[in-house]
Structure 1
């Protein structure tokens, strides 16, 4: 790590910077020269600086332009500097510093017990999975992590009951915070389960999952920011598909007659396709970017012998 945000730079900033826009400009420059990795909600220094500064000041992203010229208090400056030092010197993801990430336009509490929400599945939820299901009544979210997919599904489908599972007790504690914050605890049931193992024998109109899918080679090359996240949510064996293999082999037992399985496997998608030549995976295209998400119907799984 060649760049380090030291006390001298921070002291100068606290003395010489006054307004919101001053701090946005300064943070953008420091983030740019530090070569931190962007991949937890932003993809450039400016957007990262905007998120860090505005969230630290508890300002909305659509705040009036006049507020950009407001002066900061000493404590507000110190908080921004504290978070900038952790972001640059420790490579801590921004969401772990502000404890807030957005998914499907909704705010979620996050900390280092869960992955930072970033799945392209958000786009499908916002579109009501309209290409695959019609008005589902039951949804299963496997590997819920922060609960972002489950809560977003409950938000966008007001008549749906969602079962959300995770192996990690820590993750379920975070998911509970989000379920309660969004007041969907009457329609989202959280269960600790390793895959389907603890799920009651029932069927779901839609099973959606963002399981761990990083293969061993990619795990060894991950940027420092991703190494701050729980390994349990990332790594899944040599080919990154240990859990996905189990999902494919068992999902048909938990899908309704017209049910659909949607799973994100990221860069491990070629290995998955090679493993199952008998399955006609539909690889979903996203307007906002992202790949490695497939859809399969229950009938396709049954016809392939699963």
Structure 2
């Protein structure tokens, strides 16, 4: 059991620089696991400290020598202790996650948003879509917190966006984020097992960050990842159960010139082996290589005509 810090200890740490050093030391000694928006103890500590103090999370340097009030020190002491004792991802502790400068409310009802699709939406999927203004209907499958649906609404200013998820709890969080961005008139939340409740709707663009982690990997998750809903991670024995369903069902929901973009993690080899004739376009981002694919509606309809492809 970790002993709470005494008032004297708190008083010893006067500045943000002091607290940053202290938090990094404590996190490193505790052997924490990262990956929910940060990759190191330093980045994690900076994120928690800046978030708790309501400072810009991308501007650490100007504040390093700022002295903290006693109340602020108490807040930081509690946060550092909670990160170690609970092993919850840092975004859950401050109810905030960021993608490309956009803040989203998060709690344990949703996976912490960190999809690489968010990076691609930042420039309107320009490698696939020449004119974002011509995109009129977008679907975000497995929306979780609603972050990708909101980013899609920003990227395609003339589009309406449907955002579906099987989890009613996740959709409650998504609704809060949609309201926070004032997008209730453009983003519609739908409880659905993939396409099941979408009727005859069709889309210019379908994006999805579905569960794609193998059952074996989920069983070995550290506490930080176990804190997230298992439903949002578990993709079956090889991780590709939902991806196969998306590939099979998407043709009926894409307009003739439509595009499907899906994040699949380490599933590339499995998919290329299983679908040797399908012309996957593998998309790289600044932080990933070959973990996202794009397919045209035409290619997917060929697959539907010949399921053995």
Shift of residue 153 of structure 1? 0.8
Shift of residue 240 of structure 1? 1.2
**Equivalent of residue 39 in structure 1, options 35, 49, 53:** 35
| Cα pair 1:120 1:290 within 8 Å, conserved | no
Query: For each residue in 1:175-223, what CA deviation from the matched residue of structure 2 results, as whole angstroms up to 9, or x when unmatched?
Result: 0010000111111010000010001312100000000111111112222
Question: 1:242 — aligned with what?
Answer: 241
Q: Measured at CA, do residues 85 and 64 of structure 1 come closer, stay the same or move farther in structure 2, by a change above 3 Å?
A: closer
Unaligned runs of 5+ residues in structure 2 are none
Q: Distance in 1 between matches of 2:210 and 2:176?
A: 21
Question: 1:264 — aligned with what?
Answer: 263
Q: Distance in 1 between matches of 2:139 and 2:83?
A: 35
Question: 2:232 — aligned with what?
Answer: 233
| Cα pair 1:120 1:291 within 8 Å, conserved | no
Question: 2:282 — aligned with what?
Answer: 283
Paired residue secondary structure (2:278): coil
| Cα pair 1:172 1:192 within 8 Å, conserved | yes
| Cα pair 1:215 1:268 within 8 Å, conserved | no
Shift of residue 112 of structure 1? 0.5
Question: 1:87 — aligned with what?
Answer: 83
Question: 2:136 — aligned with what?
Answer: 137
| Cα pair 1:104 1:125 within 8 Å, conserved | no
Shift of residue 287 of structure 1? 2.3
Question: 1:176 — aligned with what?
Answer: 175
Aligned 1:3-152 pairs, distance under 5 A: 5-8=2-5, 13-61=9-57, 67-133=63-129, 134-135=131-132, 136-152=135-151
Q: Measured at CA, do residues 145 and 38 of structure 1 come closer, stay the same or move farther in structure 2, by a change above 3 Å?
A: same
Shift of residue 250 of structure 1? 0.7
Q: Measured at CA, do residues 290 and 22 of structure 1 come closer, stay the same or move farther in structure 2, by a change above 3 Å?
A: farther
Shift of residue 257 of structure 1? 0.7
Deviates more, 1:72-81 or 1:100-109: 72-81
Question: 2:298 — aligned with what?
Answer: 299
Unaligned runs of 5+ residues in structure 1 are none
Question: 2:153 — aligned with what?
Answer: 154
| Cα pair 1:5 1:89 within 8 Å, conserved | yes
Deviates more, 1:63-72 or 1:141-150: 63-72
Q: Distance in 2 between matches of 1:67 and 1:216?
A: 43
| Cα pair 1:161 1:187 within 8 Å, conserved | yes
Deviates more, 1:218-227 or 1:264-273: 264-273
Question: 1:205 — aligned with what?
Answer: 204
Q: Measured at CA, do residues 162 and 47 of structure 1 come closer, stay the same or move farther in structure 2, by a change above 3 Å?
A: same
Shift of residue 157 of structure 1? 1.8
| Cα pair 1:257 1:298 within 8 Å, conserved | yes
The alignment's TM-score, normalised by the length of structure 2, stands at: 0.93
Shift of residue 269 of structure 1? 2.6
| Cα pair 1:212 1:240 within 8 Å, conserved | yes
Shift of residue 291 of structure 1? 3.9
Q: Distance in 1 between matches of 2:164 and 2:199?
A: 11
The alignment's TM-score, normalised by the length of structure 1, stands at: 0.93
Q: Measured at CA, do residues 80 and 249 of structure 1 come closer, stay the same or move farther in structure 2, by a change above 3 Å?
A: same
| Cα pair 2:50 2:60 within 8 Å, conserved | no
